[in-house]
Amino acid sequence: MPAPASSPSRDGLGPYLAHPHNSHVFASSTTELNPPPSPRTQRTIRKLQSAHNLGAAARFGNAPSLIAQQRLHNLQDRPPSPSRQPSNRSPQRHRANSDARPPQLSASIYGTPGPSSRRPGLKPTSTAANEMSLERLIRDGPPAGDVDGALESARLKVLDQGIKSDSDGMSSTRIYVWLILLDAPIVKTDDYIQLIHRGPSPAYSKIRNDTFRTLTTNPLFHRRVSEASLIRLLNAIAWMLHDAKDKSRPSSSRQSVGPSSAFQTSLDDISQIAVTSSPSASRGRSRALTATTDGSETNASEPGTYVQGMNVLAAPFLYAARSEVEAFVAFHRLLTKECPGYIRGAMDGVHRGLALVDKVLAIVDPKLSLYLTSKGLSAEIYAFPSVLTLCACTPPLPEVLRLWDFLFAYGPHLNVLCIVAQLIIMRNDLLGSPSPNKLLRPFPALQADPIKRTALAIIKMIPDDVYAEITTHAL
């Protein structure tokens, strides 16, 4: 099975592996500001000031948009680019960007279907794009309409130079690069608000049991992201997953979960949705607790549901995004297109990923693999959170963001190799410890650059059939 559309395989890494210092890059995108709907109060006006549309096709005179050029070039339909939407974040969030006027961007480009999962080979890039910075390509779009070449250059730019950010991991371009690489569609702010207004989802009680424990030791995250924001995002995602699952069932067995009156609030009160304590909200939570167990038995063909750990997986999106809607569309795209197997049924995709961690480690470092096995340590024991959350469970958060830049550029499936890379990096400590489980609970602090370099070396060491398993294990 070929790799997902936004997850190119080893072929796309060829230029980097062959010429590690000559890779220039990038893909990109366009936006034009769209004024938000007319609000009723000055407070709402401030809250919605950042409304804009990443990917709305820019028009230069009568020239066709980049999206139109891409469609004509590929002879296939592509959705428009992801949207930058107004922020609904809590006002206590420190350093939030949602009230800042965004830069003028041009129209967005998207990933094209990835190549077959063979060993690395050279792929064409755009010479003009190679000479441009990532930020300029985000602003101006691919030169000469060369979408495919610019996108490949973008991936190599992310791999070779990374995305510019400060010491806290904050970047004005990161979320837009992620949305482009994930091939995220447009989601209107009103659609997100409607999901919130539907009230507690069937998974609401699970969400409330998880959110307060999200990255509890990470002050950077909690200064910027409120628990209320995380609850709203996860509840909206849970509704989307519930609806998809409900549509897949026969009409006679579908369940209807109506909205809760406690959540039918005005736009001005959205920030208080998740923390309301009214009796009707309590009844909604009680009803959601009962509904959470409905349909817990799923099969591999059904869409996924909310699972414990999704709160940690959602956290970096909220931290990096300028609005909840941006985080929502990127997170939903990741779950439903890149790793649906992680949240479907008994999380079979996660267990396949864990088995692959063991398999790859046995190939690249038999001695370490045998030693861990002799201590009763398999990936199921020490790597489950790292597989499920794409290493987001391991601090520091700025390093997680840098690692995710790499994963979204070349496929979240490469997280399996990144976990093995962490084991290789701490190899001497593990082999010298009589109790290696203490070193693996939790993993040492994440270091994105050494992990990426080691993962790239591992790619060249594993057989094609094993790599093919890695590219499809999360689907």
Sign of CA dihedral 92, 103, 86, 192: negative
Which residues of the chain carry a pLDDT beneath 50?
A: 1-6, 18-121, 252-298, 300
98-129: pLDDT as tens digits? 333 333 333 333 333 333 333 444 567 778 88
Q: For the chain, report the end-to-end CA distance as a whole number of angstroms.
A: 10
Contact yes or no for 25/155 (Cβ under 8 A): yes
The whole-number pLDDT of residue 209 equals 95
The whole-number pLDDT of residue 250 equals 62
DSSP helix/strand/coil, 31: strand
Contact yes or no for 315/214 (Cβ under 8 A): yes
Domains of the chain: 10-181 (no CATH), 189-336 (no CATH), 348-472 (1.10.472.80)
The whole-number pLDDT of residue 251 equals 56
Closest to 383 (Cα-Cα) out of 347, 348, 354, 418: 354
CA atoms of 184 and 313, how far apart (whole Å): 17
Contact yes or no for 412/334 (Cβ under 8 A): yes
User: Which amino acid belongs to residue 56?
Assistant: A
The whole-number pLDDT of residue 311 equals 96
The whole-number pLDDT of residue 304 equals 81
